[in-house]
Structure 1
Amino acid sequence: MASSPTRSSRLPLLGGAYQSRSLIAAAQRCVNLYPEQNPPEGTPPVPVTHYPTPGLRKVSQSPTIGRMRATYRATDGKLYAAVNGPSGTVIYAISDTFGWTALGTVPIGLNPLIFADNGLAIVIVDGTATSYAIDMSSSAFGTISATNFYGGTWVTYLDTYFILNRPGTAQFYISVSNVTYAMLIGGTGFDALDIAAKTGSADDVVAVAAIHGELWLIGELTSEIWANTGAADFTFGRIQGAFCDHGCAAPYSLSQQDIYLFWLAMDRQGKAVVVRSDGYGVKRISTHAIEADIQGYNVISDGIGYCHQIDGHAFYVLTFPDANRTWAYELATGQWHERASIDGNGNLARHRGNCFAFAYNQGLVGDYQNGALYVYDQSFYLDGTVPIPRIRTFPHVVNNGKRVQYNQFVADIEVGQTGGNMTSDPWKLSLRWSDNRGASFGNPVIQSMGSGGQHLISPQWRSLGNARDRVFELSWSAPVKTSLNGAWIETTALAT
């Protein structure tokens, strides 16, 4: 059979995850890796390198073994957490040496708890008509009085006021200025007249956020922005023209990073688009592929979002507990990747992080199952004690519909690092491929990544057969430093 000369070429990786609605268009999976643009100075070998997402290094264990519903750094620097236990959710104060002090108990639940403070007291809401307060000086804990108080899904703080949505309505309400714990518990923390409603649309307010000195009222279908006008009857007023035709499909997906708010949006035309604030509007940040995946979940209203930053990279992390999936968006590149952990059955599952707070100069992550408190650590390559799977699927390799003979595949991956529980056996790297355009993959073929110090090892595979449309996939879980530039392939184009 006639064929063309043998050809060697680089198989680059230029972006993040993109599995299209049709795999014949794109089947790129990116799990626990994120792309970073390389600076042009020095002529890097590739424009983009994929780095491993940070590991979870355990720093403490809650006395209560269960889902961590919240971690919160107060304005005085102290850390608080909420952990499910057998008889309720326990609210803890956590010292800088990770000593846990139980302050009180609230009804058990799966949704996050939302905290906010004014430097004097902390308010905690759980989406019901009952909410709670902590005295920041004495650590006293109690239930907020029901006088003129309606609970809330969200609470925020702005210009000396606590601000809450009134669940199931288009209304929001505020506390008295500089309210104290004693006032919150004693029934004088809220005035019956300090309540208002969205005016641009009558849909329910599901979340509130303070950013740039302004108040965002995020509804089910629309959002609008208010500011402190100093009016005598009600101090907040709507900013004229500050209206957005995007609401929220998952109230707890809301999170803030720098000058941006992020959430899973819904409007009158549809749902499941991830957006960030952009002035007085929003900007879509999800891709069609991400949106198609999310819209396929049975439940999306349970989405939980948080933002974190490590080594100069800022991420918005969005987990869907019912679907058992986690997605992450990197702000600098605008690229998405999956985050996943290995469950007790050895399967890929949602990431273990359920909540995040930056406290005591560390990025602290609460586990969704066992009450463990971790630090996001870029130099730690395990989730607690469990290996982290790294998976990268390559773009389609095609040759004008003709078959290609694959003579060699060489992974351009960083090797030779030491660490973890290295034994005499070197770390392993798996390659598998699909010859039906990404619909299914064959069994993995394993190669060595070399032992410590063997930095010039080139994991490679030979005599890989023929295909008209091939998709390669690399995977590994070595608990050592790695990075991926892509691969080289040596091919021979066949005549048919």
Structure 2
Amino acid sequence: MPLIPFARQSKDEPGYSGERLKNYFLRQADGIAPAVVLGRSGLLSKYSLAGPVRAMEDLNGTVYAVAGGRVYRISGGTATDVGGVLDDVNTQMASSSDEVAIVAGGKYYICNGTTTTEYTTGAVTSPIGVAFLDGYFLVIGTSGGRADALTISGLDDGTTFDALDFAFAESSADRLVGIVEDHGEIWLFGSKTIEIWFNSGNAAFPFERNTGARIERGAVAGTMAKEDNAVFWVGQDKRAYRSTGSSPTVISTREIEKTIAAGTLSRAFIVDDRGHKFFVIRLTGQPAVVYDITTGLWCEFSTGVGEVAFAGLCSVRETDGDFLVGTSTGAVATLDKETFQDLGGVLEAEAISQPVAEADFFTINRVHMNIDSGDVDATGRVMLQVSKDGHTWGLEKWRNLGALGQHFRRVTWNGLGTSRRFQFRIRITDAVQRDINGAKYG
């Protein structure tokens, strides 16, 4: 009997599925098994900042980060404090060729690499978001009591704003919650609708709405990101979307939508791990739900033991293509595939198999799993539990993993009983490699 993938994705419906990948994700393999389950890389701290990292931006190879109300320039292995801003969980950043704009706590700031200074933004008196396009910083927020205003900076000068340079996203009467530049266009995210604007070159105000690109779906603040030639966001209906041109495509499953709706949305951002790109939707106090852009499947990320949140809060792609992850602890980290901990703490990996069910009772005498744990000079253990109804789980059955050099370690559990349905849960908490290169039931 050929090896099978142990699990494919997270589907929190134990009645008919209950499958799960937490700090695991699927990769199509076409090898010893049709697919393998890879362990998420651990967060390896590179810099320690003053508080939770709210936002990061790359400017010509230098990363700027906002953490704990301070602005940092990260370059040459050193994080240098270059000024202060209000500490705001919804901090936004954008950059030109020589300036970094920051919107935090209803204020607008420009960092020139040495100092950070607050500036007024013309007609927009309470900014909430910022983007950059064609030499202009575009700022959204409140103007004259309206929460759908857009203003622009001076050309190639993020420090000046003309009070007459403004417009309103008025195709619908909803407030703006975010702004993203993508493919030379500006996406204005409202709570109920999305408008796409472009630079028309109009002398009075250079940006205009594309009247044929209004999207009848809004967004939740802080959940917008772009990657893979697309924009991603969480809608006000708690579904996850990906843009297809100027149209929204639902990427969430019904099970993931249930998890999002039941939780408290925090942030969303992009990371890259082991060649897979991920849209991470962070939830407060529980694991993040994570869309694998590479495969179109869902998994979960968490930091620590149990049903806890992922430490990542934001990310930035550096000029060389690598990602840095800003965390809730103040650490700026990389995802390192040779690190099997998060920021020096436990990185718990858990997988729940697809159910195996028949109309009549049947017996499973043993489960074999091939777990690659041989690159780490440490001995770890793996735990297996059995469920015969998808809801309750049996005793924990622990087995040793292989030592250094044992790359195709077969781990076996015997005498698993008789039922009409079987489901298996494994968990690894030791700091060892944990890729699952196939499973077999016998």
Q: TM-score, normalised by structure 1?
A: 0.84
Q: CA deviation at 1:222?
A: 0.6
Change (3 A) 1:466 1:80: same
Counterpart code for 1:485: N
Match of 1:107 in 2: 86
Question: In structure 2, how many angstroms separate the alpha carbons of the residues matched to 1:215 and 1:367?
Answer: 28
Match of 1:289 in 2: 255
Kept in 1: contact 2:54–2:91 (CA 8 A): yes
Q: Deviations over 1:449-481 (max 9, x none)?
A: 122223454211111122222211111134233
Q: Deviations over 1:131-187 (max 9, x none)?
A: 211124xx122111364342422100011111111246122111121115xxx2xxx
Change (3 A) 1:456 1:338: closer
Match of 2:147 in 1: 169
Residue 59 (str. 1) matches residue 35 (str. 2): no
Residue 315 (str. 1) matches residue 308 (str. 2): no
Residue 140 (str. 1) matches residue 115 (str. 2): yes
Match of 1:339 in 2: 301
Question: In structure 2, how many angstroms separate the alpha carbons of the residues matched to 1:148 and 1:11?
Answer: 60
Q: Deviations over 1:111-133 (max 9, x none)?
A: 131111222322110251x2211
Q: CA deviation at 1:10?
A: 5.0
Q: Deviations over 1:272-297 (max 9, x none)?
A: 00001111111111110000111112
Counterpart code for 2:275: G
Residue 325 (str. 1) matches residue 287 (str. 2): yes
Residue 412 (str. 1) matches residue 370 (str. 2): yes
Please point out which of 431, 441, 446 is paired with 2:398: 446
Change (3 A) 1:325 1:390: closer
Counterpart code for 2:276: H
Residue 69 (str. 1) matches residue 49 (str. 2): no
Partner SS state of residue 210, structure 2: strand
Q: CA deviation at 1:108?
A: 2.8
Please point out which of 218, 223, 233 is paired with 1:253: 223
Match of 2:130 in 1: 155
Question: In structure 2, how many angstroms separate the alpha carbons of the residues matched to 1:10 and 1:459?
Answer: 13
Match of 1:382 in 2: 341
Match of 1:82 in 2: 66
Partner SS state of residue 292, structure 1: helix
Query: What percent of counterpart residues are identical?
Result: 25
Counterpart code for 2:259: D
Q: CA deviation at 1:307?
A: 0.8
1:194-209 matches, cutoff 5 A: 194-209=165-180
Q: Deviations over 1:41-87 (max 9, x none)?
A: xxx2221111111111122222x2x212122212x221111221xxx
Kept in 1: contact 2:54–2:90 (CA 8 A): yes
Question: In structure 1, how many angstroms separate the alpha carbons of the residues matched to 2:325 and 2:433?
Answer: 21
Question: In structure 1, how many angstroms separate the alpha carbons of the residues matched to 2:147 and 2:120?
Answer: 20
Residue 19 (str. 1) matches residue 12 (str. 2): yes
Partner SS state of residue 295, structure 2: coil
Kept in 1: contact 2:122–2:164 (CA 8 A): no
Question: In structure 1, how many angstroms separate the alpha carbons of the residues matched to 2:239 and 2:3?
Answer: 34
Kept in 1: contact 2:38–2:435 (CA 8 A): yes
Partner SS state of residue 350, structure 1: coil
Please point out which of 15, 29, 33 is paired with 2:24: 33
Q: CA deviation at 1:255?
A: 0.8
Q: CA deviation at 1:11?
A: 5.0
Residue segments in structure 2 that go unaligned for 5+ positions in a row: none
Change (3 A) 1:178 1:140: same
Question: In structure 2, how many angstroms separate the alpha carbons of the residues matched to 1:456 and 1:51?
Answer: 14
Q: Deviations over 1:399-442 (max 9, x none)?
A: 11x222221111132243324xx2xxx3211100112x211212
Kept in 1: contact 2:153–2:161 (CA 8 A): yes
Counterpart code for 2:404: G
Change (3 A) 1:456 1:318: closer
Kept in 1: contact 2:365–2:417 (CA 8 A): yes
Change (3 A) 1:147 1:450: closer
Q: Deviations over 1:250-269 (max 9, x none)?
A: x1111111311111112xxx
Match of 1:279 in 2: 245
Question: In structure 2, how many angstroms separate the alpha carbons of the residues matched to 1:408 and 1:204?
Answer: 58
Change (3 A) 1:95 1:11: closer
Match of 1:392 in 2: 351
Counterpart code for 1:476: I
Change (3 A) 1:262 1:456: closer
Kept in 2: contact 1:46–1:485 (CA 8 A): yes
Counterpart code for 1:329: Y
Kept in 1: contact 2:200–2:208 (CA 8 A): yes
Match of 2:328 in 1: 368
Question: In structure 2, how many angstroms separate the alpha carbons of the residues matched to 1:93 and 1:192?
Answer: 31
Question: In structure 1, how many angstroms separate the alpha carbons of the residues matched to 2:52 and 2:64?
Answer: 15
- Structure with higher Rg: it is 1
Counterpart code for 2:75: S
Question: In structure 1, how many angstroms separate the alpha carbons of the residues matched to 2:319 and 2:135?
Answer: 25
Kept in 1: contact 2:130–2:179 (CA 8 A): yes
Change (3 A) 1:12 1:149: closer
Kept in 2: contact 1:14–1:48 (CA 8 A): no
Change (3 A) 1:308 1:416: closer
Partner SS state of residue 288, structure 2: strand
Residue segments in structure 1 that go unaligned for 5+ positions in a row: 1-7, 491-496
* Superposition CA RMSD, Å: 1.9
